[in-house]
Amino acid sequence: MSNLVEVKNLNIRFTGERTVHAVNDLSLSLGEGEVLGLLGESGSGKSVTLRALMRLLPKKRTQISGSVNVLGQDVLALDDDGLSAFRGQTASMIFQEPALALDPVYTIGRQIAESVMRHEGKSHAEAQARALQMLEVVRIPSAKRRLDAYPHEMSGGMRQRAMIALALACKPKILLADEPTTALDATVQIQILLLLRELQREFGMSVIFVTHDIGVAIEICDRVAVMYAGQIVEQGTLSQIVRTPLHPYAQGLLASTVHGAKRGARLETIPGTPPSLDKAPTACSFAPRCRYAQPRCVEALPPDVQVGPNRTARCILAEPIADGAAPARAADA
């Protein structure tokens, strides 16, 4: 499977009154037709990573190093024209809050049509037809009538559908989703997740889906990267992460949810709080909260260990394994 996205050794710092090392040495890849989840607590660097991929971080006060390659393009080096072509047709983004994507003063139909004219150079009539088609694709009832609706005239779930229609209007190869269902109530949330999964298959898109909710990741992701304090601490297939998490943080995260806790067991919480991000990590960031911590965990940054094909863990207890062997869990070490 060829990779559409390759991120290597990405570091993102915000400078100002204080420095925040928001993302540290992050590497990930996204294959064709794949849904990769970025899972972690708020403040772990998930949204910042997505915004960097889309070049949405403010230029001032942001320092980025490393490489972001999307379909052969060096995203961090794109000029304004390159960026405009990149957004919409190559990659597009949806947000938790539709207000970040939808303009309150224009109708939904006009916003979609303008995006199609701008990115694809289509005529007004063609763009109008595409707008209607997209509202139908995201199953907005009475689509024709809704073309003339303003965002505030729609319910939360409907606005989310309209934002998805706008994001997909130019048929992007890659969709970046930042907690798009978090603000919705449970029934609407599941409808939107099902819709996204369906559209992902229909359009053959690859998706990076940011969420703090393992239940949401289970619904939509093929593979998961668990983030903690600006780093990916473990990557694997959804079933590997849910059934046999290796990194103690991933184990704690799972044990704190109904999806990962042993049957009949009480849900656990991870004691302590995430570290401040005012310095680049020089040791395991999870050490103060880790029940397996040893002196060597704080002497140096643990390496990102390849523990199997497509599986990594950043922990001294993770061991590279021979093909076919089951990786050891930290709890067994």
Is the CA virtual torsion 154, 158, 160, 162 positive or negative?
A: negative
Q: Which segment (47-55, 84-92, 140-148, 293-301) binds Mg ion by CB under 5 A?
A: 47-55
> Using the rule CB under 6 A, is 307 a contact of ligand SF4?
no
Nearer to Mg ion, 49 or 200 (CB): 49
> Using the rule CB under 6 A, is 170 a contact of ligand SF4?
no
Nearer to ligand SF4, 205 or 297 (CB): 297
CB of 233 to Mg ion, least distance (A): 17
CB of 317 to ligand SF4, least distance (A): 5
Q: Which of 196, 214, 284, 305 binds ligand SF4 (CB under 6 A)?
A: 284
Nearer to ligand SF4, 175 or 227 (CB): 227
CA distance 118 to 233: 40
Backbone dihedral angles phi then psi of residue 311, each to the nearest 5 degrees: -135, 130
Length reported for the chain: 333
> Using the rule CB under 6 A, is 227 a contact of ligand SF4?
no
Q: Which of 106, 150, 203, 292 binds ligand SF4 (CB under 6 A)?
A: 292
CA distance 99 to 209: 19
Q: Which of 108, 253, 286, 305 binds ligand SF4 (CB under 6 A)?
A: 286
Q: Residue for token digits 């890849």?
A: 29
Per-residue x/- track, 22-61, ligand SF4 (CB under 6 A): ----------------------------------------
CB of 276 to ligand SF4, least distance (A): 17
Buried b / exposed e over 69-86, threshold 16 CB at 10 Å, is bbeeeebeebeeeeeeeb
Strands 35-39 and 3-14: unpaired
Non-local (6+) Cβ contacts of 319 within 8 A are: 305, 307, 327, 328
DSSP 91-124: EEEE-SSGGGTS-TTS-HHHHHHHHHHHHH---H
Q: Which segment (18-26, 49-57, 97-105, 309-317) binds ligand SF4 by CB under 6 A?
A: 309-317
Q: How many helices and strands in the chain, by DSSP H and E?
A: 10, 12
User: Which entry of ligand SF4, Mg ion, none binds 88, CB below 5 to 8 A by partner kind?
Assistant: none
Reduce the DSSP state of residue 218 to 3 states and report it: helix
> Using the rule CB under 6 A, is 315 a contact of ligand SF4?
yes
Nearer to ligand SF4, 176 or 246 (CB): 246
Residues forming contacts to ligand SF4 in the complex (CB under 6 A) are 247-248, 284, 286-287, 290, 292-293, 297, 302, 315-317, 330
